[in-house]
Amino acid sequence: MWFFLVLYASVECFIARDRPNDGGGSIYLSWKSIEDTLIDGYVIFRRVISDTVFTRIGFAGRYATNFEDNSVQDSLKYIYQIAVQKKDSLYYHTTSNIAQSSAQFFHKGRLNILFAIIIFAVFLIYFVSRAKKGAKLFIRKIAGLDAVEEAVGRATEMGKPILYVPGLGDIDFPSVIASMNILGEIAKKSAIYENPIIVANCYPVVYTVAREVVKQAYMSEGKIDKFKDDYIRYLTESQFGYAAAINGIILRERPATNFFIGPFFAESLLLAETGNQTGAVQIAGTDQVLQLPFFVVACDYTLLGEEVYAASAYLTREPVLVASLKAQDMGKLLSLFILILLTVLAFFKINLISLLKVQ
């Protein structure tokens, strides 16, 4: 009986409340742990306010001071009870307050993301308005993209096809989506020069998208009669089977220009070296950092990382795309400035949060 009284007095501040910053369906319990290290832990009970019987819902260790009940309904009100367990005995404590869960509209811990979105939106609106007014927004020169016109023209002069490889990735890869945008612009130039283009795909969905992109490019240039279904080819999803099939195309059909733009992995050097041996002009681009050295040494031009994503804006000079690119650059510049500022403050052991609270 004495042990019961000690525990009863020691388990204090048993509070139930809606868990903040969530989508509902969760109630947060907290209490002040007791100092007796001989206990096994705490048993949590719960009942709906309209019921009379408590049901066991969980167990917390001896040093625990909180518990999350993630099995509640937002429409119901609950009362909780905590019990201290020691061996086979339970020592009950008083019940908690009435609590009800609810969904919050916004996660307050992510205000920084909200501010970043607002700042980016302001940059985007500003640059879009400038672009629509005819302002020439500066984009640094990207040699690989400047060489596209020359590479396509060279293939036309030699009477040889163009090979385009969107990489070993499905349509959910961001670099594959960027590659489809680039493919559209290259296909337009191919249509203008009436030069065949071969697009080698390893996934059915990418094959379908590439076919529509090239077809639309020919249609936009009024050369739909020059489009052939054989231009877009589905090979295989096997990584090295895909590489072997592309190498076969390179050696048999001898394309004068090869584009390798998208996600590439261990097959990158196999493709680039084969094309290099045939004397083709090669333009590559990928966001896979480990594959960039292979493209750099075996190709004439290489798009490094984010240059792949900037290519559609660079080639088309579409005001909205260029404005979006400039807004991203300004966001990165602002992030770099904040990073440098916080690094300097940390170097001098200045706590910015404490400084703001004092003021």
Torsion of CA 42, 45, 49, 53, to 10 degrees: -140
What the block records as the tokens of 193 is 């020069």
For residues 22-41, average pLDDT: 86
pLDDT tens-digit map of 191-204? 999 999 999 999 99
pLDDT tens-digit map of 208-258? 999 999 999 999 999 999 999 999 999 999 999 999 999 999 999 999 999
For residues 157-162, average pLDDT: 94
Rounded to an integer, what distance in angstroms lies between the CA atom of residue 197 and that of residue 249? 12
User: Has residue 261 got a pLDDT over 70?
Assistant: yes
For residues 144-167, average pLDDT: 92
Domains and CATH numbers, the chain: 2-95 (2.60.40.10), 109-123+320-358 (no CATH), 137-317 (3.40.50)
CA distance readout (Å), 22 to 39, 48, 109, 112: 33, 21, 11, 17
Query: Using an 8 Å Cβ cutoff, are 203 and 165 in contact?
Result: no
pLDDT value of residue 38:
79
Decide: residue 9, CB within 10 A, 0-12 exposed, 13-18 middle, 19+ buried: exposed
For residues 125-149, average pLDDT: 87
Global pTM value: 0.71
Band of the pLDDT at 314, cuts 50, 70, 90? confident
pLDDT value of residue 357:
58
User: Has residue 3 got a pLDDT over 70?
Assistant: no
Other C-beta atoms closer than 10 Å to the C-beta of 215 total 16
CA distance readout (Å), 121 to 128, 138, 309, 314, 326: 10, 19, 19, 21, 12
Identify the residue with better confidence: 136 or 207: 207
pLDDT tens-digit map of 170-193? 999 999 999 999 999 999 999 999
CA distance readout (Å), 38 to 1, 63, 318: 16, 11, 72
Average pLDDT, the chain: 89
pLDDT value of residue 247:
96
Instruction: Report which DSSP code applies to 99.
Output: B
